[in-house]
Amino acid sequence: MMLALAGCGSGSGDESGQGGMPLVATLPSIQAKVFSIYCVGCHTDGTAPFGLRLDPEFSAGDLINVVSPRDPDPMHPTLIRVVPGDPDASFLIQKLEGTQAPELGGRMPDGGPYLSTSTINVIRQWIQDGAQP
């Protein structure tokens, strides 16, 4: 999250039609069209920033109802990576939109290009629908 690395954010920002199928509001679709393309360059293996792995076998368990280690008060957490049913409270959305507090790092993917609004809206819809794995 803190370093701009080759491979992080190396996409066009428009994932809606990659691979012949449109991006839809399910974790498998988001995994294939977003996380596995734009995020795993940095968010994989034991070196993943803040322990957030977004490779397929870890993304659900590292996102859904997981408190970010950046949370200033883990006893009363406010930085939950994905809050099912509440995209605005989800730290993932804040990071993708760049609306998080400045002390919590930059917008993701680090260094851009950033995801398109339509792509972020699909991720918002998945969260709104309950963030099913």
Residues of the chain short of pLDDT 50, as ranges, are 1-18
How far from 38 is each of 31, 35, 75, 80, 82, CA to CA, in Å?
10, 5, 32, 21, 18
pTM: predicted TM-score of the whole model, two decimal places: 0.84
Single-letter amino acid, residue 53: R
**Residues 1-25 pLDDT 10s:** 222 233 344 344 444 444 568 999 9
Q: What span, in angstroms and rounded, lies between the C-alpha atoms of 129 and 12?
A: 26
Nearest to 70 by CA among 34, 39, 106: 106
The predicted pLDDT at position 74 comes to 79
The predicted pLDDT at position 20 comes to 65
